[in-house]
C-alpha cells in the first residue's frame, strides 16, 4: 500500500502533539518541571511539521479562501482571549485535510493507551502521587492525572472511538470488557457523566448494529442525528441563560453546570471574539481545597462561547452540523450516533475543542475541501 508523504507528515506531527497534550494532563509535568519543558518543545515541533504538511497540500482557490477565513477568525479570537491553544486546534484541523478518520482514531487510541499505562504505572510505583478528593461525599482518586475526571474522559472517548472502529465486527465479550472497565473507573473516580455516557453509547451501538429503530420516529431520529451539536449547544445555552429556581432540580442532576454557567455569563458576558479569563478549579495540586470560589464552566458550549467568543462558537457549530448531515446522508449511522453521544457529553464536560479528547472534530477538516462542498450540495438536494 502506497503511503502519501503528506500523510506521513500529518501523523509525525499528530503523534508529537497528542503525546504532549495527553502527558500534560497527567501529574508528570507538574511533579517534574523539566518534563513540562520537554513536552512543550515536542508539541511545538509537531505543530511545525503540521504547518509543513499544510503548505505541502494542494489547495483549490475555494479551499484557500475558506481556510484563510477560518484561520483569521482563530487568530483574532486568540489575540483577544490570549488562549493560543485555539490557533493550534485550527492548524491541526486544517492539517487533517485528506486524512482518513479511521487512521486518526487508531493513532489516538494507541497514544491514549500508552499514556494511561505510563500514568497508572507511575502512580503504582509512587513516581507520581494518587491524590484523593472528598467532594460532595464522593471519594475520588486522581490516579496520577491532573484532575479526577481526566481518566474517565479518556476512557469514554476511547470507547466511543473503539466502537465506531469495530462497527459490525464487535463481539459480545468486548461489550462486557468495556462495562467492566467502566465500573472499575467509576469506582476510582466517581464520575457520573462518563459512566452514563458509556452505557448509552453501548446501547445505541448495539441498536445500530442490529438495525433496531422505531419506524414511527425515523424522521425525528434523523433530524436529531443531523443536528445533534446544534440542538445540544442551543439547549445548553438557553437553559444556562434563563436559569432560575425552577431549574434547580435539573441543575442538581447536572452538577451545578447551569448555575455556574449562568453566573459566568452574568459576570463576563458573551463577546464577539471572546476574552481572557483565569479559571479557578480543582486539581491534584489543591486536592479540592480552593483559595477562593470555584470558578470553572464545565459545559463545553458555555465555556467556548464565553472564552473564545460568539464567532468561533458559531463556526464550530456550523462545521460539525455539516459533518453530521453528511454522516446521515451517507447512512453512516455508527458515525452519526458517535457524534450525537459526543455532543451530549460536551453539554456537561469542558473538552469539546480539545483534540486529545474529541478526535471526531478532525472530521471538520473535510469542510475545507472543494469535493466536500460539492458533494454536500448534491446530496442535500437528493435527501
**pLDDT, tens digit, 9 for 90 and up, residues 122-147:** 999 999 998 887 766 778 888 999 88
Q: Do residues 92 and 14 touch, judged by C-beta distance below 8 A?
A: yes
DSSP for 328-371, please give it. HHTT-HHHHHHHHHHHHHTTT-S-TT-TTT-GGGGGGGGGGSHH
In which residue are the cell numbers 434523523 written? 222
Domain boundary, last residue among 189, 212, 235? 212
Is residue 306 located within the same domain as residue 342?
A: yes
Phi first, then psi: give them for residue 280, nearest 5 degrees. -130, 110
Is residue 143 located within the same domain as residue 236?
A: no
Number of independent structural domains in the chain: 2
First to last CA, the chain: 35
The DSSP element (H or E) to which 139 belongs, if any, is strand 138-141
Q: Do residues 152 and 189 touch, judged by C-beta distance below 8 A?
A: yes
Average of per-residue pLDDT values in the chain: 87
Domain boundary, last residue among 212, 237, 270? 212
Answer whether residue 201 is part of any domain: yes
Is residue 199 located within the same domain as residue 338?
A: no
Give bridge partners of residue 295 from the DSSP assignment.
280
Structural domain harbouring 140: 129-212
Is residue 360 located within the same domain as residue 225?
A: yes
**pLDDT, tens digit, 9 for 90 and up, residues 265-293:** 998 999 999 888 877 655 555 555 555 55
For residue 82, give Cα distances in angstroms to 138, 144, 281: 35, 29, 19
Q: Do residues 88 and 47 touch, judged by C-beta distance below 8 A?
A: yes
Is residue 229 located within the same domain as residue 200?
A: no
Is residue 181 located within the same domain as residue 243?
A: no
**pLDDT, tens digit, 9 for 90 and up, residues 65-113:** 888 899 999 999 999 988 888 999 999 999 999 899 999 999 999 999 9
Q: How many CA atoms lie within 13 A of 235 on its CB side?
A: 13
Give the pLDDT band of residue 216 (cuts 50, 70, 90): low
**pLDDT, tens digit, 9 for 90 and up, residues 304-315:** 999 999 999 999
Q: Name the pairing type of β-strands 138-141 and 132-135.
A: antiparallel
Give the pLDDT band of residue 251 (cuts 50, 70, 90): confident
Is residue 192 located within the same domain as residue 239?
A: no
Domain boundary, last residue among 168, 187, 212? 212
Is residue 190 located within the same domain as residue 280?
A: no
pTM value surpassing 0.95: no
Answer whether residue 383 is part of any domain: no
Amino acid at each position: 500500500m502506497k503511503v502519501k508523504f503528506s500523510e506521513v507528515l500529518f501523523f509525525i506531527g499528530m503523534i508529537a502533539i497528542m503525546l504532549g497534550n495527553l502527558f500534560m494532563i497527567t501529574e508528570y509535568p507538574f511533579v517534574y518541571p523539566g518534563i513540562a519543558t520537554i513536552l512543550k518543545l515536542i508539541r511545538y515541533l509537531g505543530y511545525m511539521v503540521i504547518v509543513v504538511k499544510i503548505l505541502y497540500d494542494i489547495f483549490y482557490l475555494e479551499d484557500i479562501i475558506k481556510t484563510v477565513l477560518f484561520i483569521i477568525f482563530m487568530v483574532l479570537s486568540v489575540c483577544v482571549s490570549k488562549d493560543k491553544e485555539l490557533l493550534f486546534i485550527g492548524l491541526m484541523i486544517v492539517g487533517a485535510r485528506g486524512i482518513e478518520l479511521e487512521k486518526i482514531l487508531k493513532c489516538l487510541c494507541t497514544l491514549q493507551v500508552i499514556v494511561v499505562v505510563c500514568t497508572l504505572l507511575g502512580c503504582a510505583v509512587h513516581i507520581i502521587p494518587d491524590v484523593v478528593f472528598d467532594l460532595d461525599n464522593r471519594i475520588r482518586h486522581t490516579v496520577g492525572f491532573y484532575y479526577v475526571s481526566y481518566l474517565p474522559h479518556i476512557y469514554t472517548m476511547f470507547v466511543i472511538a473503539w466502537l465506531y472502529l469495530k462497527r459490525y465486527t464487535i463481539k459480545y465479550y468486548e461489550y462486557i470488557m468495556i462495562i467492566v472497565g467502566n465500573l472499575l473507573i467509576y469506582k476510582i473516580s466517581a464520575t457520573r457523566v462518563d459512566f452514563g455516557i458509556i452505557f448509552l453509547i453501548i446501547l445505541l451501538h448495539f441498536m445500530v448494529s442490529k438495525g433496531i429503530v422505531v419506524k414511527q420516529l425515523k424522521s425525528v431520529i434523523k433530524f436529531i442525528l443531523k443536528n445533534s451539536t446544534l440542538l445540544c449547544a442551543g439547549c445548553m445555552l438557553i437553559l444556562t441563560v434563563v436559569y432560575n429556581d425552577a431549574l434547580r432540580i435539573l441543575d442538581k442532576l447536572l452538577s451545578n453546570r447551569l448555575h455556574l454557567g449562568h453566573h459566568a455569563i452574568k459576570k463576563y458576558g458573551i463577546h464577539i471574539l471572546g476574552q481572557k479569563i483565569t479559571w479557578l478549579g480543582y486539581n491534584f495540586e489543591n486536592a479540592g481545597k480552593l483559595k477562593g470560589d470555584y470558578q470553572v464552566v464545565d459545559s463545553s458550549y458555555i465555556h467556548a462561547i464565553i472564552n473564545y467568543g460568539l464567532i468561533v462558537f458559531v463556526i464550530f457549530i456550523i462545521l460539525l452540523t455539516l459533518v453530521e448531515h453528511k454522516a446521515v446522508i451517507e447512512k453512516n449511522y455508527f458515525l452519526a450516533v458517535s457524534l450525537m453521544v459526543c455532543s451530549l457529553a460536551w453539554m456537561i464536560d469542558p473538552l469539546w475543542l480539545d483534540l486529545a479528547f474529541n478526535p471526531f472534530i478532525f472530521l471538520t477538516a473535510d469542510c475545507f475541501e472543494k469535493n466536500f462542498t460539492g458533494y454536500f450540495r448534491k446530496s442535500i438536494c437528493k435527501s
